[in-house]
Amino acid sequence: MAGEWKSTGCILCSINCGLQVQTDGRHLTRIKGDRANPRSRGYTCEKPARLDLYQNHADRLTSPLRRRPDGTFEEVDWDTAIRGVAAGLAAIRDAHGGDKIMYYGGGGQGNHLGGAYSGATRRALGMRYQSNALAQEKTGEFWAERKMFGARPEPDFENAEVSLFIGKNPWHSHGFERARVILKDISRDPERSMIVMDPRRTETADLADFFLQVRPGTDAFCLSALLGVLVQEDLLDGKFLAERTGGGDAVIAALTDVPVADYCERSGVAEELVRAAARRIGRAESVAVIEDLGIEMAPHSTLNSYLEKLVYALTGNFGRPGTMNLGTHLAQLIGSSRTEPRTPVGGHRIITGLIPCNVIADEILTDHPDRFRAMFIESGNPVHSLADSPRMREALDALELVVVIDVAMTETTKHADWVLPAASQYEKREATFFGGGFPDNVFQLRQPLFEPLDGTLPEPEIHSRLTRALGAFSDEDLAELREAAAEGRSAFQAAFLRTLAERPDLAAITPVVLYETLGRALGPEDAAAALLWGAAHGCASAHPESVRRAGFEGEGPALGEVLFDAILTRPEGVVITSDTYDVSFDRIATDDGRIQLEIPELLEELAGLRDEVPVTDDAYPFVLAAGERRGNTANTIYRDPSWRKKDRDGALRISPEDAARLGVESGGRVRITTKRGSAETVVEVSDTLRAGHVTLPNGLGVEYPDENGERVAHGVAPNELTSSEDRDWLAGTPWHKHVRARVEAID
C-alpha cells in the first residue's frame, strides 16, 4: 500500500537506528527515524536518507556466477551453483582437510543472520578458521577486556558526568545511540565535561571541554601521562580498588614511574591540559569512555586499549549509572573461548576466534603444507577493506577455490570462482548481534519490505541448500522434528532437545536444522527467525530476572517463548532485557570475579615507551590516516557514487601550512605515495589538522559502472596504500591510521 509507513532499520553503522519507510514498487521512497524503536527513539543521522541506492543500483547481482576457464563469468542456475560449490569445497576438504578452507566475513553493519546460519555449512565441511573486519579493529581491545573483565564493558554517555572519546569521532561515526543528541546535551551542560583525544580537531572535538590534540600515533604516551597524573596526584578510587580489583599494585608501581612532563611533550599535548583532564576525571561522580580506530589502528594498539581501560578501572567508574557496565547479548558476536589458538602457518594469535586480517595473505601465499587452499567469503569485501589490496588480490588468485556471497559485484567478487547473489537486507528478515545498549538491551528483527530480487536468495536458504548438498542431512533425518514443529512449540522444544542429545551430526548443523523444521513451520517469510528462537530461550534462561524486568512474564521455557514471540511480532525492535547497574559486578567473568588490572606483557610494553625513539623518514614525511569516517562515507555499503552529493571523489585533507608549502589549494590535486603504492587525489585544505598529518576517507575507490557501462573507481581505495606488516605485535591490528606517506603537488 503506497503511503503506508513500515518499520525497518538502518544498515550503515553498528547502531542500527530504527527507520520508518514508505515504498513504491521495489523502491524506498520516503525514510525517517522511527520513534517506536526503543533504542534510537526517532533519531537518525543524514546517511540513511538515500538507502534506495543500496537497495537499487547497477551493481546488484541477479544470478549465480561461475568463472569460466578464460576468466570471465557465466550465469548459472541455483541448482548448478549449489552443486558446484558443494562439490568444489568437498574436494578441497577431501584432498587437504576442511581446515584448509577459511571463512571470511559473515556480516556487515546491518546483517548478521547469514553469518549465524553459515555455522552449519562450516561444520558440515569441517572448516576451522575464520576472520572478519573485527580482526582489524577490535581484537586488541577484546584481548585486553578478556583479561581484565572476561567480558566487554559498554559506556553510558547519556548519564555520564565526564565523557571521554579516544581516537573516536562519534559526531560522524556514532558508536553509541543518538550520538549527536547526547554530544550536544553534554556540551551544553556546565556540570558535565567532554574530553577528546584526537590529532584532528574533529566535529566532536569542537564540542569538547578538554581537547588533547595528540601527535598521530603517540596516544600511548598521552594516556600513560594521564594515568600517571591520576596515580601521582592520588586521584584513584582506593575503596573500589580494594574491593573489586586484583593486580593493582603492579600497575600503580608502573604508573608512579611515568615521567608525566616528558610524555606530554612527546605526545605534543600541554602538560597542564593533561593534568586538568586527569583531575576532572578524578573528581567526577561518573566517567564513561570509548576508544575506536584512532588508537586501535595505530602504533601500540593493544597497549592503548589497555591504558584506556585502566583510566576507568583505576577510578572506579564501573557498575554505576554514567560509567561502564556489562550488558546482555541475545547471541554472541564474538567467540567466547578463552584458549588462544595460533594460525596454522605463521603461528599468530587467534583472538576471539578471529585470525588477524593482516596475516591472512601470509597464510595463503606460501608453500607451507598447512596453508589455506580455499576461502568462503560472505558479506565482506576483503580486497577493498584489508591492508595491502594488491597482495590480497594475489592471495585470492593463488587459492584453488574462492566462493563469495554478496548482494553486489565488488572488488572481491571479481576474484571469485563462484559468486552467490544474496537478497538485500530489505528483502529478508535481518538483524545484528552488535548489542543494543545498557541498562535496556534492544533487539530488532527487521521485516522484509520487498520480495527477494529475481535470481537472489537469503543466506539462510543458501546455507540450508549447501548443507544439504554436502550430505549433512536428509528429509528423513528431520521428519520427526517437522512433525513436532507442526504440533506446536512445546512439542518442538522437547523433540529438538532430544535430537540434539541423540544426533551429534545434526547438533553440529543446528542453525539449518532449526531453519528446516521450526523455520518451515513459521512460514517462508519468517523461516530465518528460527535461530532466534534458540537465542531467545538461551537469553531467558541465562537472564530470567532481566527478561522479566523488561516486561515479560513466565517461568522456565514459557519465558523464552514470550520473548521469541515479541521479537518475531515487533519489527520496530523490543527491549529484551532490562538491568540494574549493580548486575555488572556479577557479570565480571574472570576467575575470581574481580577486575584484573595487571597484564604483564603490556606493562612491559609500557615500560619500553621510555626508550622509544620517534620514527622519522625523510622519504615519507607525512602521516596518513587512511580511512576517515565522514558524513558521506559508509564503508562500501553504498556503491553508487551519486549518493555523495558533494565531494564525490573523497578529498585528501591537509593542513593549511602543508598546503601552502606544497602550493596547493582546496580542489587542487596531489600525488600521495607510500612504501606500498601511489594515488592521485583531490585536496581539501583543512585547519582541523596538525601539520604533517593528512587524511583520506574510508570506503572510497569502489568501482561502479558509468553511463557507458564502463567500471570506474571514484576516489582512492585506502588499502592500495597500506602494508600488512605494519601491525600490532600482539593482536596483529593494522596501522591504517598511521601510514608514512609523501605528498607532491601535480600541476
Ligand X SMILES: Nc1nc2c(c(=O)[nH]1)N[C@H]1C(S)=C(S)[C@@H](COP(=O)(O)OP(=O)(O)OC[C@H]3O[C@@H](n4cnc5c(=O)[nH]c(N)nc54)[C@H](O)[C@@H]3O)O[C@H]1N2
Nearer to ligand X, 201 or 503 (CB): 201
Distance of CA 320 to the CA centre of its chain: 26
Query: DSSP E strands: which ranges in 132-217?
Result: 154-155, 162-166, 193-197, 210-212
DSSP state of 727: B
Span 287-326, contacts to ligand X by CB under 6 A? 292-295, 298
Tell me the C-alpha distance between 451 and 210, whole Å.
50
Q: How many residues bind ligand SF4 (CB under 6 A)?
A: 11
Does 634 help bind ligand X (rule: CB under 6 A)? yes
DSSP state of 109: S
What sign has the CA pseudo-torsion 604, 607, 613, 617?
positive
Q: Which of 515, 478, 510, 461 is nearest to 124 (CA)?
A: 510
> Which residue among 216, 344, 435, 715 contacts ligand X (CB under 6 A)?
216
Does 385 help bind ligand X (rule: CB under 6 A)? yes
Does 446 help bind ligand SF4 (rule: CB under 6 A)? no
Residue owning grid cell 601500540: 300
Neighbours of 163 (CB within 10 A): 30
Q: Which of 9, 27, 26, 28 is nearest to 18 (CA)?
A: 9
Does 703 help bind ligand X (rule: CB under 6 A)? no
Site string for ligand X, 505-524 (x = CB under 6 A): --------------------
> Which residue among 380, 435, 519, 573 contacts ligand X (CB under 6 A)?
380
Which residues, 6 or more positions from 578, have their beta carbon under 8 angstroms from its beta carbon?
439, 440, 441, 546, 549, 550, 551
Q: Least distance to ligand SF4 from the beta carbon of 15, Å?
A: 4
Nearer to ligand X, 98 or 217 (CB): 217
Report H helices in 457-488: 459-469, 475-487
Q: Least distance to ligand SF4 from the beta carbon of 167, Å?
A: 19
Tell me the C-alpha distance between 358 and 363, whole Å.
10
> Which residue among 6, 7, 8, 15 contacts ligand SF4 (CB under 6 A)?
15
Nearer to ligand SF4, 83 or 180 (CB): 180
Per CB under 6 A, the segment of 8-16, 486-494, 520-528, 569-577 that binds ligand SF4 is: 8-16
Site string for ligand SF4, 170-199 (x = CB under 6 A): ----x-------------------------
Report H helices in 488-577: 489-502, 504-507, 510-514, 520-522, 530-542, 544-549, 557-569
Tell me the C-alpha distance between 219 and 225, whole Å.
9
Which H or E element spans position 122?
helix 113-125
> Which residue among 48, 344, 460, 715 contacts ligand SF4 (CB under 6 A)?
48
Give the 3-state secondary structure of residue 86. Answer: helix
> Which residue among 39, 50, 66, 200 contacts ligand X (CB under 6 A)?
200
Q: Least distance to ligand X from the beta carbon of 658, Å?
A: 16
316 binds, among ligand SF4, ligand X, none (CB under 5 to 8 A by kind): none
197 binds, among ligand X, ligand SF4, none (CB under 5 to 8 A by kind): ligand X
Q: Which of 607, 553, 546 is nearest to 579 (CA)?
A: 546
Does 637 help bind ligand SF4 (rule: CB under 6 A)? no
Does 39 help bind ligand SF4 (rule: CB under 6 A)? no
The site for ligand X (CB under 6 A) is made up of 13, 108-109, 111, 114, 133, 136-137, 166-169, 172-175, 197-200, 202, 214, 216-217, 219, 292-295, 298, 378-381, 385, 405-408, 410, 422, 424-425, 459, 625-630, 633-637, 698-699, 718-719, 722, 736-737
Binding stretches for ligand SF4 (CB under 6 A): 10, 12-13, 15-17, 44-45, 47-48, 174
